[in-house]
Chains A and B, each alone.
Chain A
Amino acid sequence: MTSLYDEVQAAPGEGVPTRRVTIKVNGDDRTVDVEPRLLLAHLLRQGLKLTGTHTGCDTSNCGACTILFDGRPIKSCTMLAVQADGHSLETVEGLASASELHPIQEGFKQEHGLHCGFCTPGMMLAAKALLDKNDNPTEDEVRWALSGNLCRCTGYQNIVKSVLWAAEKMRAESK
């Protein structure tokens, strides 16, 4: 069991309520005790040590914290950890297998879809949500699917190319 409070003290402060939450993260079942107000992004980052999910803006505008929630992209900085109880989550750490990158990860590297890397995990998961539904998107469809994610470095053009690169590879692989 992992608790956010492991970091700093043996048990939550007196009078602090906790709730037990059971979630599946990247295929693993995890049970944690959390304060009801704990944000999902913070549970992932601090509690579960999955620091690939970033928090950028706190207002659900930037999308750096995007994860997949039962396969749908959500912004984990504006969802409570308790809301995830009983649900299945996928973070950037779940994209690659031990030996193989996901085509989206390869695409981002091949097409220079990242500079500083901070928005990248959220971008890739938003892209995965798109490609899981539509493996042959148009450029406009990609741009629209990523319009909840901000990037300050790349100017998006190469991100779009990265996703199209991945789509092509995924189509080839599924043949």
Chain B
Amino acid sequence: MALDEIKIGGLGASRRRVEDNRFIRGKGNYVDDIVLPGMLHMELLRSPVAHARIKSIDVSKAYDIPGVRLVLTGEMMAARNLAWMPTLSYDTQAVLATDKVRFQGQEVAAVIADDPYIAKDACQAIVVEYEQLPVIVNPFQAMESGSEVIRDDKENQPGNKVFDWEIGDKAATDKAFAEADVISKMELHYPRSHPSPMETCGSIADFNRATGKLTVYMTSQAPHIVRAAVAMVAELPEHMIRIVSPDLGGGFGNKVPIYPGYVISILASILTEVPVKWIEDKTGNLISTGFGRDVYLQGEMALRKDGKMLGMRMKTISDHGAFYADAQPSKFKIGLMHSAFAAYDLPAAHLESVGYYTNKAPGGVAYRCSFRVTEAMFFQERMVHAAANDLGMDQAEFRRINLVKDDMFPYRTAFGFLTDSGQYGKCLDIGMKAIGYDTYKAEQAEARSRGKLLGIGISTMTEPLGAGNSREYDILGIKMFDSAELRVHMTGKAILRTGAMNQGQGHQTTWAQIVAHELGIPADDVTVEEGDTDTAPFGMGTYASRSTPVAGAAVAMVARKIRAKARKIAAHLLEVSEEDIEWELGRFYVRSNKERGVTIQDCALAAYSNMPDGMEPGLENNAYYDPPNLTWPFAAYFVKVEVDAETGVWDVLKVVAVDDCGVRINPMVVEGQIMGGLTEAYAMASMQYQTYDDEGNCIGSNYMDYLLPTAWETPGFELHEVVTPCPHHPIGAKGVGECATVAGPAAFVNAVVDALGHLGVRNIDMPMMPNRVYEALTTGKDISGMPPVKMGD
């Protein structure tokens, strides 16, 4: 008889996680836990200044320290053609500085020693003479004529501009504005934020001269991309490079790029012929690795009096730091910023984006988001909030009028995306009920009469998760598909490998559930492996919520290939033709006699012991999955706050999250992802940001200055679920890991701005620290992040 899918840990089971068994015992295997025989330790010397010409580097005193084996400088890297490396956005990045340092924290030299303490000592003994240059810390300084050119290493570099890019229909948008009754404007700064996983970056490079093989254990969310890049940069044959990502202590996009430390450790191992370990300290991680955001956004919305959106003009000015190292699909210069307003029935839109180099850390990674979608959706929901107020309409009602209706799918957005499914109105209704929206206006008025400032913020969005398809999405030319390989052993147990890379999402648990769903093999019988490029099939890794949409689909597809072969074996075992065979979970049976059947385990045994004549033995296969479209989850978040009128401190009274991410493989894990995302949203809204002083000193360079919320500050969350299956995904799932980080921040800001709305406050830039809120409520003025945004026209 068919198996109970929940009992075997199939789709929909809140199966407890397999990986927890090692983590709760302290038996995880993170990079820093790995010890190789004869291993040396590497430490980086970083630039203390943001912009300077290097006049000289004297390493002699470092060599005086016992235990120092090697000191590497830019000059030595240059001699091996490794002083510069390509970034994921077709720019170049210095590995060790040769000519100039371009941001504080840039890698200047590396010491390889017997012990990490000795390596640190030796770094202090290196003498570098700098000739300081003017420092540029924001795009407005960068764009000034006559400003210092940061990237003087590049030929034909036009000032400090990185790119100039546009998308959308300008003429149609102009027409919409000509016909508008009301034009509403918004401008804001999405401050720089660092993903800041608990574990920093690190690597152990192990070059074996005898075999010619290079093995690198490293903190990478995309080990196969690293292998390809190392093959290109280090000119080593790809089959002699093995990249292993062990357990990762969080990623959030920070561990997608290839960092100088990895490359230097590789060269150091080649030169010393022993393994070299590099473990970044927290300051190194915060001041030099991939940040998120740092975009100035401005725009205006054309509206009809009755509340209908007609058109949207949007402009972004982004700060990319010293090297354009955004990790994003190559066709798009500012990620998927043009996914803004995808949830709304917006007839026309146009986006202009311009990016600049500054003397700040490079990056622009997709920090828990699908390539700049966080900035897009934050701006969208701040713009929508302002537009509703300008029209004098209720926030929920304005959204309801303009959200894409259920019967409009598939829907082509103004920027050209195709959204394919959702029940936006239903999500809105559930959230309104849960937050108590009906009685809220009266409650707010009553509270104001007592001097209390209450506010509710709404944020609704759909976001594009799960790149590719391969027609439009590639990184460095490699198409954004993903892969899975499934081998069923003769006793019906199995091993599954994918090209994704878990960093807390629970793949070891959830991928097995997809196999259980497709084959009826209990999830406990399926081992899942990822992260070793010698064994895992080629894949693009885990970021941008792409694991379930792409690799998860590949898991389902490879299981279906296995089932197709097992069906032939079943026909052979049951001595009937394949057409007379039916499938129920875990079992094939004869259509005319349901009692006569064989289990998937019977078929597995027969694949090795009793195959039909002419059939290739074994029961294994692989699948490369190229998704036909992105997946489009929908989220409606509601936040209720109370602002203290005396201090500007705001307390979160309630958070309601309604998520429609299609079919949920493991509801417990999905909810965990949503709560984690909401917390990062709260963090960015309240305290978490990175700023620089005029000299380019990174202020948020450690956890005393880079504030992250603890269990004490973080509010509780109330979660609700709507399921609209994705029409093109094999099991109907959509991405979800980042929805809350993407749409959450606007809900918090909208709530505080709503609380202060009667004072005329339109915007408070994040983070809404009490001093900013206090200034807003005492002056009634908007609080913008420095420097002020200038309208380009």
Contacts and interface: CB of A to CB of B under 8 A. Distances in A.
Given A56-B282, A118-B28, A153 B504 contact: yes
A64 interface: yes
A58 B710 CA distance: 17
Given A64-B198, A112-B17, A158 B672 contact: yes
Given A7-B39, A8-B114, A144 B712 contact: yes
A115 B676 contact: yes
B33 A51 contact: yes
Contact of B703 (A45, A59, A155): A59
Nearest to B22: A117
A95 B249 CA distance: 21
A52 B282 contact: no
A114 interface: yes
A119 B198 contact: yes
B27 A52 contact: yes
B216 interface: no
A160 B16 contact: no
Contacts of A108: 20, 24
A152 B668 contact: no
A155 B717 contact: yes
Given A146-B710, A157-B717, A91 B282 contact: no
A39 to B, nearest CB: 9
B26 interface: yes
Given A37-B117, A118-B198, A155 B704 contact: no
A28 interface: no
Interface in A82-126: 91-93, 95-96, 101, 105, 108-110, 112, 114-121, 124
A62 B703 contact: yes
A152 B708 contact: yes
A156 interface: yes
A152 B114 contact: no
B374 to A, nearest CB: 16
A96 B20 CA distance: 14
A146 B252 CA distance: 23
A154 interface: yes
B81 to A, nearest CB: 31
B397 interface: no
B247 interface: yes
A134 interface: no
A117 B702 contact: no
Interface in B108-135: 114-115, 117-118
Interface in B587-638: none
B503 interface: yes
A9 interface: yes
Nearest to A159: B711
Given A58-B282, A144-B712, A93 B668 contact: no
B540 to A, nearest CB: 20
A8 B115 contact: yes
Chain B at the A interface: SS class: loop
Given A59-B702, A112-B17, A118-B198, A53 B24 contact: no
B30 interface: yes
A156 B118 CA distance: 38
A59 B704 contact: yes
B19 interface: yes
B7 interface: no
B28 A117 contact: yes
Interface in B177-222: 196-200
Contact of A117 (B118, B247, B252, B675): B247
A62 to B, nearest CB: 6
Contact of B711 (A15, A92, A146): A146
Given A13-B67, A146-B711, A118 B249 contact: yes
Interface string B636-675: 0000000000000000000000000000000011011101
A169 interface: no
Nearest to B505: A115
B154 interface: no
6 contacts: A5-B115, A7-B115, A8-B39, A9-B67, A15-B66, A115-B672
Interface of A: 4-5, 7-9, 13-15, 35, 37-38, 45-46, 49-59, 61-62, 64, 91-93, 95-96, 101, 105, 108-110, 112, 114-121, 124, 142-144, 146-160
Interface of B: 16-17, 19-28, 30, 32-33, 35, 39-40, 66-67, 114-115, 117-118, 196-200, 247-252, 281-283, 503-506, 668-669, 671-673, 675-680, 702-704, 708, 710-712, 714, 716-717
Given A92-B24, A108-B24, 9 more contacts: A52-B25, A52-B26, A92-B26, A116-B198, A117-B249, A146-B710, A155-B678, A155-B714, A155-B717
